[in-house]
Structure 1
């Protein structure tokens, strides 16, 4: 019971930890998104840059979280924009556009993201006075089949480009199209934006409906509480009334703009509001404007300095981490190489030891064979010669000695040296022929088809001894009349099947069978035995 409760508590804690981790990431996104939009401290943008760089790296090359990568890339672009790094801003927006194209299923989010990126790129080119490129970008986006709202935004942007080049009639045409699309889409925000822009251009062209349009746009924005958008209406209205010499109204709307900037604590809007005051003949605000302008310039410079320092530190940490990882990888590869070399050396030494041991056994057998033949067998034969004439007792002794002689000769023959310089097929054929007589017929199948050159000498010598031992056991114990030896090549394996029709046996591995098994195992082969009483004997060798 206690174990179950502990497991349940661990499960709950794990779920809680995951939820807290997700909540922390969400809180961090909200926090850094906010400070990018309105940085108040010199280090804000630098910290946000570090956060969004990590986010971008975390989601890179992962199609399942490509939206997260786009989101992070967009905020990195916004940071570069605020620092005044136009080229970096452009590069990151183009990268965002490329990532967006990789998303196969388009959604409202992808359309909005696409529109935002195009808008940012258009602003970059417009500020560079590259109006042709800005127009090309907006026109291309306009043909991509976006919604009415998206078309309204793009048409507004095109109008803004023509307004910048003072082509007011063309600008008015595009603002009118934008207004129509916005009304058709029932999007109040875009309706107010396009109406305010259109009415301001109408004022430039001295058209009578300009004032009513500007006031209507302001009311839409107030009704829908588009707080930040109000600054544009206040700016347009102040300039309109100043152009018709209604300084009282111009001052009123510029005051509204100034109060809104202070309320939102937005330094850039405050700077714009103060500039508007000066441009509408209110020079008393010049000193304050200079102070705000200097403050913003100093803050931007501090932001750049902090940003460069943080980026340097971040890059340094990344490089140190990469070096550490590279060192770890190299160390791992070195350890693996050492381990592999150690294992290889172990098996090489083991194989060498096994081969030397087999060679030693072979030499020992050969030496014993020669000693038996040269000393024991010859001496026995000499005694037999001396006893060939004599008493009945001598004849009995002679029979015993002859038996000893034949056994000694067999031992010598079984352990004699093998001349592996001879063709191996002939060597085996001679071996099989030596066990064939009037009572036993040895038949071979497939012997000539085997590629014996693929076997090493130690394998040939061991196989020869095993076949010799099987045939010797047959000769001594089985009373077989037929022995069949089949040879078959299967891929890299050699399979040899021995069968005889002898009396068979109950399989108990004595010294003979155990020796053959040990010999075959020594060359990494296998041997299996099958036998029953009166059903012959069978052995299968695989090398």
Structure 2
């Protein structure tokens, strides 16, 4: 149902924008904005992301980040949405009145995402920040989001205080009044199950019927069904059926799923219960596949936009180098032998300095690795010798031998095994750590729903494999763009890696790193293939059977 707020807000912004005469030629932002209004999301995504790379107007850039973040949120890519919304905050200026409404909306979506991630404290902070910039018409939306968050935190008294404040505001529509009445009654009932919320529930339902607000009417049916579940199951069943019919008429897949879930639990007839469950499972799986497909499609769009940008920058660099050569030759002709000799001497000095710096840098890297592996290992052994009352010879020899092996393979030392809790965030941090001004890393599908179906061993091995691929990319491929996609199909998990670097040569012989990668995937009953993208970069496809992270 938050999607309704999103749709209303976008519609108002789009209607206001199209009413203005365009003083300049349409750019990628203007065309992308028009596609967004027409709900042609692929084209909108491509053009808005391209404007982010090439545009100059800070307000348009901030709004482009905002709208892409909203698109990603609606497809379930929460981390990707947060990344783009953070970009919106970087370009929107809080002292410029033209930017303030977009700031408030950005914080509103960030609050909604934090609720989806169950990060309720952060959600309240986002809604409070949004209230600083909101126009009066948008204030109730932010306050309602804050109250909903407090309700989910079971801080019912605080939530009701916010709803009381909302009741004091002037109402622009009956649908808004119905929403506040309905949510207030629902919160009072949650706080005190003996509270009779029916009068307010029916009042809100009637207000919504009178105003023709079908989305709100669906919310009323949901609350009435929940209220009657324990007291009057037949009434709960009736309102669940009403909710299903309304959700189907509105085309709201999420509300249809919620209604089917209620009908599965409430239907007294076993045959109808099974039929509802089959519908629920089919629709849930279809929606998940659709979201996965959409996220993958958007990831490829982002990849192509960044690749195009990198190609343009490379061409500009080549042209710049050609001009420098022309100027150098002209200068050499004018200055003669003396100028050429002077330039040669300077160039030779620069090359020597770069060589010296390179040697010094390599020595420093080697010294740091020896310190991390050998020195720390020796310190641990010394510490054990110092503090142990008795020394067990065999284990001590094993530790010394292990340290010896690590010192021989410093380049391939493995990271610590991961833990199941918070694993998507760890994977996101690992992959994002390789992103810099020369390399952009695009991550898709790194969600708890994916990792919750993997075992601790699979998580450990996949993290090590991803680290090896990223290190290999960093050291050898000279890639500008990297994409890592996580998805699931038919009880199998897939990790798809692509970059636009040099790729593997035809006569390549796998070293220790890539051979270890193959062995790790084989160890979890998976398969890995190495190939090339159409443009010559490296493509790695990994597949493995899914399990449960708690087993």
Q: SS state of the match for residue 129, structure 1? A: coil
* 1:219-277 CA-partner distances (Å, limit 9, x unpaired): 333444444343322322222233431524x3343333323333333333332332333
Deviates further, 333-342 or 295-304: 333-342
The change in CA–CA distance for 1:319 and 1:177 in structure 2 (over 3 A counts) is same
* Aligned twin of 2:113: 124
Q: SS state of the match for residue 166, structure 1? A: coil
* Aligned twin of 1:92: 84
The change in CA–CA distance for 1:192 and 1:309 in structure 2 (over 3 A counts) is same
- Match of residue 39, structure 2, among 35, 45, 50: 35
Counterpart contact for 2:105–2:130, Cα < 8 Å: no
Counterpart contact for 1:33–1:75, Cα < 8 Å: no
Q: Count residues in correspondence.
A: 312
Distance 1:343 1:254 in 2: 88
* Aligned twin of 2:411: none
Counterpart contact for 1:192–1:217, Cα < 8 Å: yes
The change in CA–CA distance for 1:51 and 1:270 in structure 2 (over 3 A counts) is farther
Distance 2:103 2:174 in 1: 21
Verify: 1:261 aligned to 2:250, yes or no.
no
Distance 1:311 1:231 in 2: 36
Distance 2:250 2:171 in 1: 30
The change in CA–CA distance for 1:147 and 1:51 in structure 2 (over 3 A counts) is closer
Verify: 1:296 aligned to 2:287, yes or no.
yes
* Aligned twin of 1:273: 259
Show the 5 A alignment for 1:411-430: none
Which structure's CA Rg is the greater one? 1
Distance 1:48 1:27 in 2: 7
In structure 2, stretches of 5+ residues that fail to align are 1-21, 340-551
- Match of residue 72, structure 1, among 54, 58, 64: 64
Distance 2:27 2:48 in 1: 17
Report the CA distance between 1:340 and its aligned residue: 4.4
The change in CA–CA distance for 1:187 and 1:114 in structure 2 (over 3 A counts) is farther
Report the CA distance between 1:295 and its aligned residue: 0.6
Distance 1:72 1:51 in 2: 9
The change in CA–CA distance for 1:239 and 1:30 in structure 2 (over 3 A counts) is farther
Report the CA distance between 1:319 and its aligned residue: 1.8
* Aligned twin of 1:193: 179
Counterpart contact for 1:277–1:285, Cα < 8 Å: yes
Distance 2:136 2:296 in 1: 43
The change in CA–CA distance for 1:58 and 1:319 in structure 2 (over 3 A counts) is closer
Show the 5 A alignment for 1:95-494: 95-100=87-92, 102-106=93-97, 110-142=99-131, 144=132, 149-181=137-169, 184-204=170-190, 205-206=192-193, 210-245=197-232, 247-248=234-235, 250-281=236-267, 283=273, 284-342=275-333
* 1:427-467 CA-partner distances (Å, limit 9, x unpaired): xxxxxxxxxxxxxxxxxxxxxxxxxxxxxxxxxxxxxxxxx
Distance 1:20 1:177 in 2: 44
Report the CA distance between 1:23 and its aligned residue: 10
Report the CA distance between 1:293 and its aligned residue: 0.6
Distance 1:285 1:254 in 2: 12
The change in CA–CA distance for 1:146 and 1:76 in structure 2 (over 3 A counts) is closer
Counterpart contact for 2:104–2:133, Cα < 8 Å: no
Distance 1:50 1:119 in 2: 24
Counterpart contact for 1:152–1:179, Cα < 8 Å: no
The change in CA–CA distance for 1:226 and 1:325 in structure 2 (over 3 A counts) is farther
Distance 1:315 1:24 in 2: 15
Distance 2:85 2:324 in 1: 40
The change in CA–CA distance for 1:343 and 1:127 in structure 2 (over 3 A counts) is same
* 1:489-520 CA-partner distances (Å, limit 9, x unpaired): xxxxxxxxxxxxxxxxxxxxxxxxxxxxxxxx
Report the CA distance between 1:301 and its aligned residue: 2.1
Distance 1:337 1:97 in 2: 44
Counterpart contact for 1:151–1:178, Cα < 8 Å: no
Distance 1:295 1:233 in 2: 26
Q: SS state of the match for residue 228, structure 1? A: helix
Report the CA distance between 1:96 and its aligned residue: 2.0
The change in CA–CA distance for 1:27 and 1:99 in structure 2 (over 3 A counts) is closer
Report the CA distance between 1:152 and its aligned residue: 3.0
Report the CA distance between 1:341 and its aligned residue: 4.1
Verify: 1:55 aligned to 2:41, yes or no.
no
Distance 2:182 2:67 in 1: 29
In structure 1, stretches of 5+ residues that fail to align are 1-17, 37-43, 349-543
Deviates further, 332-341 or 283-292: 332-341
The change in CA–CA distance for 1:173 and 1:22 in structure 2 (over 3 A counts) is same
